């Protein structure tokens, strides 16, 4: 009797420990929803007393479905991922390198054979809200249907109307290169069931109409969460550190919470609005890399009222502390003589030959504010990931003053030289110098 | 129409605002002393001065310029530093094929305006972005020092 009870104790103990581990794994793997931080009462769209936070900007309310769809598609960023550089817009083929293999975006032009020309409204809604294609296969969450699930049927169908107004392009993207088990699409059904909201956007009754509009734009359309929130082991955004910083195509998508030091807490509303509208912002920098496309292809279509609504919403994101230092607000000395902390001289040599003519020795560009380094997050990031990436791959901006670009230096300089110049740049212009090695640069080179 | 201030004269040009200044100078205003080299601000052949600072005109959209003063190789000899640089260039016979030399002279003149007596490190920092395929670097360095020495 005694032995039995001891055995039971052990069994119970194991069960208790097991369920404790299970619960903590579940806690860790299943973070709260994207809008959970806001708390308060959510109401159905019909029951919300304020103006409808969904749909297009006020100016376009009475426009036809194609025009409304163009606006919504722009803010949802469809074009960026569904376009391969140098190829027709929306015809797919853009590569997404993942830790598990490479995915290619599908063609979403209305071509009946290679695009989505034979999709019904119901097919399109099921893809947008549940991540299931017309043929019943489960889509990979590189397609942000966990965000688009919040979009109203009306808005999703306006996007469909816009896509169906485009010229059909016959183009089949390359096949995905995912090995077993990641090529088992049905597994994505489980992911979708766990991480996709089952309801469309529900306004928060105790928040302002502007906040609700911003929440809809940021969460249901622009899906900022996709890059700016770190992912857990199941590749789901960890909303416990919502907008605390993540990764986009090998670049760092920085902290956009209200943290004063690492995030946007010290930015004014106007600075955030101008950055999102496509400007460079003095002392803050300008979008580059993947964010350049987000700003120039998506957000520059947004009305100023919608930009302000996004800013109002971003202002409510709880601060997530990070390890990024506060950006150094002052320019470096004009003279190349005023030395920065002793760094590999090679970095200075590369800088004087390749960088100084556009960025200046002070970091305040004599050419354009878009090339000014002072205060930008990238040069104030001691990992120097984005500085090395922009040197390797360059960047392009489509500004109101025309196209402006930084060339790619990846083929002109060795990994060691790029590491040296990145370390020089962060030390000269940033709050804290980086210690990048040739190996780190090689990894960034491969990773894209 | 875009209004520009080139070598002290007001010019209006009918071009797209994203046209690089180099194209406007050479193809529209026919100031062909400024050269096209690489087109990506990496060789220095297209250097001009904007408000006295050396910039690569191949990467500078004219729409962004406004009323800033543009000086090209055609008129740099009318500035004191430019005149001294050009004289030293002739005295020491710096030029070989000559293609990069307008850019070299523009960078050198800007250097003397900011650092009247540059040493080798100053010259490296200011001139490294100007590439010379003939390898006249040794004479360029000597000529900059000569021009500096002429400065009272």
In tens, the pLDDT along A319-335 reads 999 999 999 999 999 88
Q: Do B129 and A349 touch (CB under 8 A)?
A: no
Domain count, chain B: 2
Residues A398-403: what's their mean pLDDT? 82
A-chain residues near B128 (CB < 8 A): 349, 352-353, 356
Q: Do A352 and B64 touch (CB under 8 A)?
A: no
**Band (A341; pLDDT cuts 50, 70, 90):** low
Look over chain A and give the mean of its residue pLDDT values, rounded to a whole number: 93
Residues B56 and B43 in one domain: yes
Residues B136 and B83 in one domain: yes
Residues B8-18: what's their mean pLDDT? 94
B-chain residues near A350 (CB < 8 A): none
Delimit the domains of chain A by residue range: 58-169+185-195, 209-314, 345-447
Residues A187-210: what's their mean pLDDT? 92
Residues B67 and B82 in one domain: no
pLDDT of the residue at B151:
75
Domain covering A345-447 assigned CATH 1.10.760.10 in the classification:
yes
Nearest to A356 by CA among B99, B89, B9, B122: B122
In tens, the pLDDT along A64-122 reads 999 999 999 999 999 999 999 889 999 999 999 887 889 999 999 999 999 999 999 99
In tens, the pLDDT along A3-25 reads 568 888 888 888 888 888 888 88
Residues B35 and B59 in one domain: yes
| CATH code (residue B105) | 1.10.150.120
In tens, the pLDDT along A232-245 reads 988 899 999 999 99
Residues of the domain holding B62: 2-71
Smallest CA–CA distance, residue B19 to chain A, in Å, is 8
**Band (A2; pLDDT cuts 50, 70, 90):** low
Residues B42-69: what's their mean pLDDT? 92
Residues B141 and B106 in one domain: yes
The SS3 of residue B9 is: strand
- Cβ atoms of B94 and B101 within 8 Å: the answer is yes
Residues B116 and B129 in one domain: yes
Residues B50 and B93 in one domain: no
Nearest Cβ partner of B18 from A358, A361, A402? A402
Q: Do B61 and A356 touch (CB under 8 A)?
A: no
Closest-approach residue (CA) in chain A for B65:
A367
Residues B85 and B51 in one domain: no
* A344 pLDDT above the threshold of 80: no
Nearest Cβ partner of A367 from B60, B114, B122? B60
pLDDT of the residue at A29:
85
- The rounded percent of chain A whose pLDDT value lies above 70 is 98
In tens, the pLDDT along A145-184 reads 999 999 999 999 999 999 999 999 999 999 999 888 888 8
pLDDT of the residue at A176:
93
Residues B105 and B126 in one domain: yes
Residues B92-110: what's their mean pLDDT? 97
pLDDT of the residue at A357:
87
pLDDT of the residue at A345:
83
Q: Do B125 and A366 touch (CB under 8 A)?
A: no
CATH of domain A209-314: 1.10.760
Domain boundary among B25, B53, B71: B71
Residues B59 and B81 in one domain: no
Residues A344-364: what's their mean pLDDT? 90
Nearest Cβ partner of B55 from A336, A367, A402? A367
The answer to which of A2-6, A214-218, A268-272, A275-279 has the lowest mean pLDDT is A2-6
Look over chain B and give the mean of its residue pLDDT values, rounded to a whole number: 95
| CATH code (residue B6) | 3.10.20.30
The answer to which of A2-6, A33-37, A230-234, A385-389 has the lowest mean pLDDT is A2-6
pLDDT of the residue at A3:
59
pLDDT of the residue at A41:
93
Residues B44-64: what's their mean pLDDT? 92
pLDDT of the residue at B152:
62
Smallest CA–CA distance, residue B150 to chain A, in Å, is 23
């Amino acid at each position: 009797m005694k032995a039995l009870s001891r055995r039971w104790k052990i069994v119970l103990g194991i069960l208790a420990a097991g369920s404790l581990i299970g619960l903590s794994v579940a806690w860790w793997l299943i973070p709260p929803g994207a809008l959970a931080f806001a708390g308060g009462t959510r109401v159905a769209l019909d029951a919300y007393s304020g103006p409808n936070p969904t749909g297009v900007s006020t100016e376009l309310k009475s426009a036809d479905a194609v025009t409304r769809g163009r606006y919504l598609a722009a803010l949802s960023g469809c074009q960026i991922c569904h376009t391969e550089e140098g190829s027709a817009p929306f015809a797919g083929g853009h590569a997404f390198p993942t830790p598990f293999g490479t995915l290619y975006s599908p063609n979403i032009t209305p071509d009946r054979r290679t695009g989505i020309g034979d999709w019904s409204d119901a097919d399109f809604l099921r893809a947008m809200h549940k991540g299931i294609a017309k043929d019943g296969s489960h889509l990979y969450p590189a397609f942000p249907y966990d965000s688009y699930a919040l979009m109203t049927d009306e808005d999703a169908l306006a996007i469909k109307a816009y896509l169906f107004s485009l010229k059909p392009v016959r183009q089949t993207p390359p096949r995905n290169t995912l090995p077993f088990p990641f090529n088992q699409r049905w597994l994505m059904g489980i992911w979708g069931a766990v991480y996709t909201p089952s309801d469309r956007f529900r306004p928060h009754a105790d928040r302002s109409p502007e906040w609700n509009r911003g929440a809809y734009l940021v969460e249901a359309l622009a899906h900022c969460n996709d890059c700016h929130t770190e992912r857990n082991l199941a590749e789901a955004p960890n909303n416990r550190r919502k907008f605390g910083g993540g990764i986009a195509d090998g670049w760092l998508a920085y902290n956009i919470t209200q943290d004063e030091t690492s995030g946007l807490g010290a930015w004014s509303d106007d600075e955030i609005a101008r950055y999102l509208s496509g400007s460079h912002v003095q002392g803050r920098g300008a979008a580059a890399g993947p964010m350049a496309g987000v700003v120039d292809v998506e957000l520059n279509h947004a009305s100023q009222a919608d930009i302000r609504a996004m800013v109002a919403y971003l202002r409510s994101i709880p601060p997530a502390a990070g390890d990024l230092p506060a950006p150094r607000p002052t320019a470096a000395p004009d003279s190349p003589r005023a030395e920065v902390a002793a760094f590999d001289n090679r970095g200075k040599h590369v800088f004087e030959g390749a960088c100084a003519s556009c960025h200046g020795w002070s970091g305040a560009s004599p050419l354009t504010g878009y090339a000014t380094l002072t205060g930008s997050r990238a040069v104030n990031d001691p990992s120097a990931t984005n500085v090395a990436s922009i040197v390797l791959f360059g960047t392009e901006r489509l500004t109101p003053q025309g196209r402006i670009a930084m060339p790619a230096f990846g083929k002109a300089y060795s990994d060691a030289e790029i590491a040296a110049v990145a370390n020089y740049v962060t030390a000269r212009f940033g709050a804290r110098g980086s210690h990048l090695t040739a190996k780190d640069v090689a990894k960034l080179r491969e990773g894209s | 129409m875009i209004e520009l201030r080139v070598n002290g004269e007001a010019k209006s040009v009918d071009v797209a605002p994203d046209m690089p200044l180099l194209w406007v100078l050479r193809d529209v205003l026919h100031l062909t002393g400024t050269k096209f080299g690489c087109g990506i601000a990496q060789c220095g052949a297209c250097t001009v001065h904007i408000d006295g600072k050396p910039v690569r005109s191949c990467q500078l959209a004219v729409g962004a310029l406004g009323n800033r003063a543009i000086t090209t190789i055609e008129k740099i000899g009318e500035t004191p530093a430019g005149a001294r640089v050009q004289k030293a260039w002739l005295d020491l016979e710096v030029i070989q094929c000559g293609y990069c030399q307008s850019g070299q002279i523009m960078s050198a003149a800007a250097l003397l305006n900011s650092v009247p007596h540059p040493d080798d490190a100053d010259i490296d920092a200011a001139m490294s972005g100007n590439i010379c395929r003939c390898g006249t670097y040794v004479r360029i360095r000597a000529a900059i020092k000569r021009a500096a020495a002429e400065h009272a």
